């Protein structure tokens, strides 16, 4: 779940679309600095019929270079389930209940799911069930900024980038461009690529062309432009 909004499409019957996604959630990212421990999401049903929504929270970690969501008792969400009437704003409270001090940024995701309604599907229609996955960060009052080490591994027409973040704050990577030793484009990913969480390592594999390394990385982050040289893994 490395995107801010993940859409889960459940095809009940086809071939035509019954209704557009009606579940709206804001904001799309939550960040709180200790001692602040509470936040809120606004959930809205923009459709014409009532819907039932389930809200859950998970600890967001990166293991083996991949995003993982784990159960957590450190954060509570209320209410965990609600019925949304059309055109009405509803508030979901998010509270950090853990009493452990925050020494490095802690990452979570609040997952908001539209639940299926029994008997609503009609012949010849498609119903879309929507999932929003909202990043939630709780930060210490002071922290070291992101400190990124990049590693590039080329294999045929693919390149794998390993990003190790030694800092105490996440690094959000977008509009990624990889260039070879001659300056030619090797790989590109427009828009959000993903996050390297605090003290974590993440890997992304992209289609590749162009020549050999050393490879240069260009991207954008929340704190500005990224310009880096990627080390090369031994083969």
Residue 9 forms part of a structural domain: no
CATH number at residue 226: 2.60.40.10
Same domain for 24 and 78, yes or no, is yes
Domain co-membership, 20 together with 135: yes
Q: Is residue 55, in this structure, part of any structural domain at all?
A: yes
pTM, two decimal places: 0.84
Are 207 and 154 in contact by the 8 Å Cβ rule? The answer is no
Query: Do 116 and 51 fall into the same domain?
Result: yes
| Last residue of one domain, picked from the residues 93, 114, 139 | 139
pLDDT of residue 235: 52
Distance in angstroms between the alpha carbons of the first and the last residue of the chain: 30
Residues 173, 119: one domain?
no
Q: How many domains does the chain have?
A: 2
Q: Which structural domain range is residue 165 located in?
A: 148-232
pLDDT at 15 (0 to 100):
29
| pLDDT tens for each residue of 108-144 | 999 999 998 776 555 555 555 789 999 999 999 998 9
- Among 90, 122, 139, give the residue marking a domain's end: 139
Do residues 87 and 20 both lie within one domain?
yes
49: tokens are 């019929």
- Domain assignment present for residue 66? The answer is yes
Q: Kindly state whether residues 117 and 20 are assigned to the same domain.
A: yes
Ranges of residues in the chain whose predicted pLDDT is under 50: 1-20
- Predicted confidence at residue 119, as pLDDT, reads 61
């Amino acid at each position: 779940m490395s995107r801010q909004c993940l859409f889960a499409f459940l095809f009940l019957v086809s071939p035509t679309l019954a209704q557009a996604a009606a579940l709206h959630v804001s904001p799309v990212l939550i960040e709180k600095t200790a001692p602040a421990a509470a936040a809120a999401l606004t959930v809205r049903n923009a459709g014409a019929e009532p819907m039932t929504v389930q809200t859950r929270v998970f600890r967001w970690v990166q293991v083996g270079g991949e995003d993982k969501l784990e159960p957590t008792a450190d954060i509570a969400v209320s209410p965990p389930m609600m019925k949304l009437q059309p055109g009405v704003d509803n508030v979901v409270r998010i509270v950090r209940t853990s009493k452990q001090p925050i020494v490095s940024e802690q990452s979570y995701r609040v997952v908001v799911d539209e639940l299926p309604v029994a008997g609503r599907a009609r012949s010849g229609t498609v119903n879309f069930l929507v999932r929003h996955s909202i990043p939630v960060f709780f930060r210490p009052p002071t922290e070291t900024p992101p400190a990124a080490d990049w590693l590039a591994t080329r294999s045929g027409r693919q390149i794998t980038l390993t990003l190790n973040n030694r800092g105490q704050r996440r690094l959000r990577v977008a509009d990624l461009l990889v260039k070879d030793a001659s300056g030619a484009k090797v790989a590109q990913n427009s828009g959000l690529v993903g996050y390297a969480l605090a003290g974590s390592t993440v890997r992304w594999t992209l289609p590749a062309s162009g020549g050999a390394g050393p490879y240069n990385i260009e991207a954008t982050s929340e704190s500005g432009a990224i310009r880096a040289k990627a080390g090369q893994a031994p083969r």
